Structure 1
């Protein structure tokens, strides 16, 4: 029997993808009920969800998604009910939703190192993918084994974008495997992940950062985030490589590709020194890495996906401890999501966008002025 403290309505409002390449729709759908929770599940009242760039890819039909489905995999909220096996969370706790869901707990991956467990091949669909509803709704079922407590000094508004953007770029920096004082290149540095990555790299990991972007606002945000060198990708690969090598000596030790633009891999490999690492993070149909560049430089090509629960919590604590700044755009309510999505498609705001769904919870929490 689930533990609960409130009565959940039979229906709720949700912002859903109903057709590919069409605007999201606000719809009334059945609300999840505490009596339906499985032992490992947690039911939260959504406080603030956030819009991720990959949500735009989902809209295009890039991934096989069963429609209709509630969008967003960046969710925060207050626990209202827990399944029988959930011991870490209780009603009233503020949590950051994990994206992955329903790992089997029996395979080699699940019994392996904690950071790899979300790669379980038998896991259920992720939030907003494969028919599992995401965070653009009033109540949400999450996996208690993947969720994380939100630090007391962090608001829901700040936490929501970290549910994907923050933890994804954190793990990517870790996967780059650099030592303090080494150079990290970030392609797409002025976006939601990039401006966080610059700050994490410098303030937490002690790295020097080369920021590469192709938009005036992205270059400006990269400078504000504290990059050691900011380079305009519009000048072309050869000029970009020349500028980076003059500043770093031989090029960066590793590069994160956060852009997904067709030219990003070419620029990334061009600025990386011999024996360096190329870490692909952005979702793209293809990865056009110049093969000769890769071979003759002995580049190590890696990928990086989501962070584990432990890595996510390390990121959250570091965010507070090192006073990381989040460039955030705050909207009121689910009804503003279609407008924000259109703005994101036209690159009309910097950084991230989040939506206040539970005004009472946001108003009551410590630090809610931090955006």
Structure 2
């Protein structure tokens, strides 16, 4: 397919100062590509919790102005000299990582599932959040961190997968591997009704696990139920009552007493007490996977010393894991709950719903409706 004629400028939602509102600016289309780079015409861009951290300056040395959103999907319209297997016209999912150092252990001799832990620095050397994102009409991306989309995975649903999906996919996989979970094993999810949680429930269920969803908002509990959790618990009942309910449903409280609980638990809530809560609902010698990123993870020493709870952290999926995720979805299906907004000028409306606490699932902006219309012939029987 021939490359389309590209405009010189485009609209982009940008962080112009930390702690200040976004601005919609006219900026150049980034047509100058490095060897491993692709230019993607953005179809859909998704808002992630980390976007709020970027605009508040949590990651420090970001270069401003910076185009927001690190979750995107679209169509390749230009390629660098070494684009790998990508071609103009392909539908893709793209995320935040851009030009990793290429020489540290994670980039070279380490296992592929640890590529995301590059220690040499990404472009700009101040972290993965220094690259312009997807709240724009076009985006420059790294082919080595871009994912081919199966026909049955739509652009609309793919955008939230680029960070949230990759993150929770790896979280579930970490729990399965670290705790050696088998089909029928119990996994608990603290913060089950959010953008990551509702996907995590489905990933876990499709892997044959039984899921206990725990949240503390009415809307989130409703999402947890609709996403297929086997057991739905309201954390507002308190830790003691929730632990008892988990043990009752898992069926190991009678013989183990305080030692019973889920075999593994994911922490998706950044509430101060969430990690301790997760340990409490996990059985002795069980596994807790920390996905949320609060300023501090606070866990009583008793959970480590007296109950031998094993805590692991996790980041987003590696390139291979990302491809495995979308291929898994193409086979098993996934319902990504989104609230969509048409056009970049709807950013304030999106933020109003995000910060109002009533949002169910993920908030996305349709940047180019024409691409969604075009793909309907391919994904008319979509599994996502």
TM-score range, shorter chain: over 0.9
Deviation, 1:235, is 1.2
Evaluate the alpha carbon distance shift between residue 6 and residue 128 of structure 1 in structure 2; reply closer, same or farther with a 3 A threshold: farther
SS in structure 2 of the partner of residue 273 of structure 1: strand
Q: Is the 8 A contact 2:95 2:146 kept in 1?
A: yes
Counterpart pick for 1:196 among 186, 195, 199: 199
The secondary structure found in structure 2 opposite 1:49 is strand
Post-superposition shift, 1:80?
Answer: 0.9
Structure 1 residue 20 displacement after superposition? 2.6
With over 3 angstroms needed to count, the CA separation of the structure-2 counterparts of 1:352 and 1:368, relative to structure 1, is farther
Question: What's 2:237 paired with?
Answer: 235
Structure 1 contact 157–368 (Cα < 8 Å) conserved: no
Aligned to 1:209: 211
Paired residue for 1:94, among 91, 113, 118?
91
Aligned equivalent of 1:58: 54
Residue 152 of structure 1, CA deviation: 0.6
The alignment status of 1:283 with 2:293, answered yes or no, reads: yes
In the alignment, the residues of structure 1 paired with residue 129 and residue 292 of structure 2 have an alpha-carbon distance, to the nearest angstrom, of 20
Question: Alpha-carbon deviation of 1:300?
Answer: 0.9
Q: Structure 1 pair 225/256, CA: closer, same or farther in 2 (3 Å)?
A: same
Matches within 5 A, 1:1-371: 5-33=3-31, 36-64=32-60, 65-111=62-108, 112-125=110-123, 130-176=129-175, 177=177, 178-203=181-206, 205-248=207-250, 249=252, 250-365=260-375, 366-367=378-379
> Contact 1:255–1:268 at 8 Å: present in 2 too?
yes
Q: Decide whether the 8 Å contact of 1:16 with 1:24 is kept in 2.
A: yes
1:280·1:303 contact (CA, 8 Å) conserved in 2?
yes
Cα shift at 1:263: 1.5
Report the CA distance shift for 1:222/1:130 in structure 2 as closer, same or farther (over 3 A).
Answer: closer
Can you give the 5+ residue segments of structure 1 that lack an aligned partner in the other structure?
none
**Equivalent residues of 2:107, 2:115 under 8 A apart:** yes
CA shift at 1:130, angstroms? Answer: 4.6
1:4–1:82 contact (8 Å) kept in structure 2: no
- SS of structure 1 residue aligned to 2:325: helix
Judged with a 3 Å threshold, the aligned counterparts in structure 2 of structure 1 residues 293 and 317 are, in CA distance, closer, same or farther, namely same
How far apart are residue 106 of structure 1 and its match?
A: 2.5
Preserved contact between residue 150 and residue 326 of structure 2 (Cα < 8 Å):
yes
| RMSD of aligned alpha carbons | 1.9
User: Contact 2:44 / 2:155 at 8 angstroms: preserved in 1?
Assistant: yes
| More divergent stretch after superposition (22-31 vs 257-266) | 22-31
**What is the DSSP-based 3-state SS (H/G/I as helix, E as strand, rest coil) of the residue aligned with 2:144?**
coil
Which secondary structure does the structure 2 equivalent of 1:222 belong to? helix
Distance in 1, matches of 2:160 and 2:381, equals: 15
Give per-residue Cα distances to partners, 1:118-147, cap 9 Å, x unaligned. Answer: 211123159995532111011111100110
**3-state SS of paired residue (2:130):** coil
Cα deviation, 1:293-342, whole Å, max 9, x if unaligned, reads 22211111100101011111111122222121111111101111222122
| TM-aligned CA distance change 1:201 to 1:46, over 3 Å | same
Q: Secondary structure at the match of 1:44?
A: strand
Given that residues 285 and 309 in structure 2 are in contact (C-alpha distance below 8 angstroms), is that contact kept between their aligned partners in structure 1? Answer: yes
Higher mean displacement: 300-309 or 94-103: 94-103
